[in-house]
Amino acid sequence: MAKPVIAIVGRPNVGKSTIFNRLIGDRLAIVEDKPGITRDRLYGTGEWLNQSFNVIDTGGIEIDGEDEILKSVRVQAELAIEEADVIVFMVDGKVGITPADEEIGQLLFRSHKPVVLAVNKIDNIKMQENIYEFYSLGFGDPIAVSGAHGIGIGDLLDAAAQHFPEDQEDPYGEDVIKVALIGRPNVGKSSLVNAILGEDRVIVSPVAGTTRDAIDTPFERDGQQYVLIDTAGMRKRGKVYETTEKYSVMRALKAIERADVVLVVINGEEGIIDQDKHIAGYAHEAGKAALFVVNKWDVVEKDDKTMNQFTQNIRDHFLFMSYAPVTFVSAKTKQRLHKLLPVVTEVAEHHSMRVPTHVLNDVVSDAVAVTPPPTDKGRRLRVNYATQVAVKPPTIVFFVNDPELMHFSYLRYLENKIRASFNFEGTPLRLFTRRKSSDE
């Protein structure tokens, strides 16, 4: 199910991007000592106490600024507040409370969302007393943090995690295949939903970004139950687009998390652009079954080689998703549309397929016998046995003498051998190595 969402909100230059980087353990956000440098919300995933969560880094809210960027940044922050399960309200412990902080506090009060107050730039114990004035904002105990030094991040996450919603049960059940359609605006996702359903359930408009939210549509076909999740179009960060479209990225990520199968919709008329790769990457990283759906194929000028050339183009651009099948359809004319759901059903089955341990080990043993692992500084990797530990996606653990001897190229070789023996088309595989303990 969808992960809890933390939104980091505050006026410019209080250090939100630095804290964002700490929470997700990465340096996605541009950190620069200049107010308002974060122009767009960034999205990342973190983990705390075995609980995975999403984080939104907002541009600073400037209450009185008439500047268009600052206006848009405030709207973004308001949208992030709406989307969040818990809000981290960042203030600057060196500067103290400002009028902008007080107005942001009022905005947060009106949201009726849980708020954790984080006082940043408390870089040492002597500065601890700087937090006390922030009690007057009315959000309970302020938490002293230092993004620069990584101080107080655990306390901040403990406080935020108390407000995470409890896991909700899947309302549709295990046997229902949940299908999310993702893609940049105007590739025809809503038209595709309507064509599959045979009726106009979703508003279709030629204006890019008409679909603002994820819309669930349950239906049944040939005895199999499905739910189509149509998402708002995703657009590239860093360019000035309508703020509601920026907001839609988090909705799309939530839809991907809820889905079993993700349809990566590509505009056959326009071809592949870089943003398509970013969008497909979300599905791959989430470990979802996936297939490429090339839409608007009816308007493409083609000969007997066009389809193969387009497929090869997809393979060249999406090397990380070589497992995903490619289908060519037209939502407008319903060309080849009848082939889509059978492929969806098939990749969903592969996504939840479990291989018996003894059968898996026969394949792995044969692969190791044909191509033994290379030596590293005189030491050779020994693969003792393998077992599948999870499905959705299929996850396999190799127990070895030393995990550090498992080179990524040899792991890829084993994956290829496993894929050649079992039909895992349409699903990523997660492969891990662990040291075989002496008592096993």
For the annotated binding site, the residues are 10-17, 57-61, 120-123, 183-190, 230-234, 295-298
Q: Is residue 394 part of a domain?
A: yes
Range(s) of the domain holding residue 72: 5-161
- Structure-model confidence comparison of residues 114 and 60, the more confident one: 114
Neighbour-count burial of 298, counting CB atoms closer than 10 A to its CB (0-12 exposed, 13-18 middle, 19+ buried): middle
**Given this model, what pLDDT does residue 188 score?**
84
**Domain containing 425 — which CATH number?**
3.30.300.20
Question: What confidence tens digit (pLDDT) does each residue in 365-394 have?
Answer: 999 999 999 888 889 999 999 999 999 999
For residue 33, the model assigns a pLDDT of 47
Domains held by the chain: number: 3
The answer to whether residues 122 and 202 belong to one domain is no
**pLDDT at position 440:** 47
| Residue 440 within any structural domain of the chain | no
Co-location of 223 and 283 in the same domain:
yes
Q: 166 in a domain, yes or no?
A: no
- The phi, psi pair for 35, rounded to 5°, reads -55, 135
Percentage of the chain surpassing pLDDT 70?
81
- Say if residue 338 is in the same domain as residue 391: no
Please give the average per-residue pLDDT across 253-277, as a whole number.
87
Backbone angle region of 181, left / alpha / beta, with phi > 0 → left and psi within -120 to 50 → alpha: beta
pLDDT higher than 90, residue 432: yes
| Residue 170 placed within a domain | no
Q: Domain check: are 85 and 157 in the same one? A: yes
- The domain boundary, picked from 161, 191, 226, lies at 161
Phi and psi of 323, rounded to 5°?
Answer: -80, -15
Same domain, 338 and 375: no
CB neighbour list of residue 225: distance below 8 Å, 6 or more residues apart: 172, 175, 176, 177, 218, 219
Domain assignment of residue 167, yes or no: no
| Residues 403 and 435 sit within 8 Å (Cβ to Cβ) | yes
Mean pLDDT comparison of 68-72, 175-179, 216-220, highest-scoring range: 175-179
Q: Phi, psi (5° rounding) for residue 13?
A: 70, 25
Tens-digit pLDDT profile for residues 90-111: 999 999 999 889 988 988 998 8
Q: What pLDDT does residue 208 have?
A: 45
- pLDDT above 90 covers a percentage of the chain that reads 51
- Mapping DSSP to helix (H, G, I), strand (E, B) and coil, where does residue 350 land? helix
Other Cβ atoms less than 10 A from the Cβ of 433: the count is 21
Look up the CATH number of the domain holding residue 76: 3.40.50.300
What does the mean pLDDT of the chain come to?
A: 83
- Residue 239 inside a domain? The answer is yes
Residues 327, 385 within the same domain: no
Considering the domain architecture, whether residues 328 and 182 belong to the same structural domain is answered as yes
Residue 214 is encoded by which pair of tokens? 């994820």
pLDDT of amino acid 211: 42
Residue 387 CB neighbour total at 10 angstroms: 16
Residue 5, classified by CB atoms within 10 Å of its CB into exposed (0-12), middle (13-18) or buried (19+), is buried
**Binding site residues for GTP, as ranges?**
10-17, 57-61, 120-123, 183-190, 230-234, 295-298
In a domain, 169, yes or no: no
pTM above 0.85, yes or no: no
Residue 17 sits in the same domain as residue 100: yes
Pair 197, 143 in one domain: no
Q: Which of the pair, 207 or 18, is modelled with greater confidence?
A: 18
In a domain, 221, yes or no: yes
335 with 415, same domain: the answer is no
Question: Do residues 391 and 276 both lie within one domain?
Answer: no
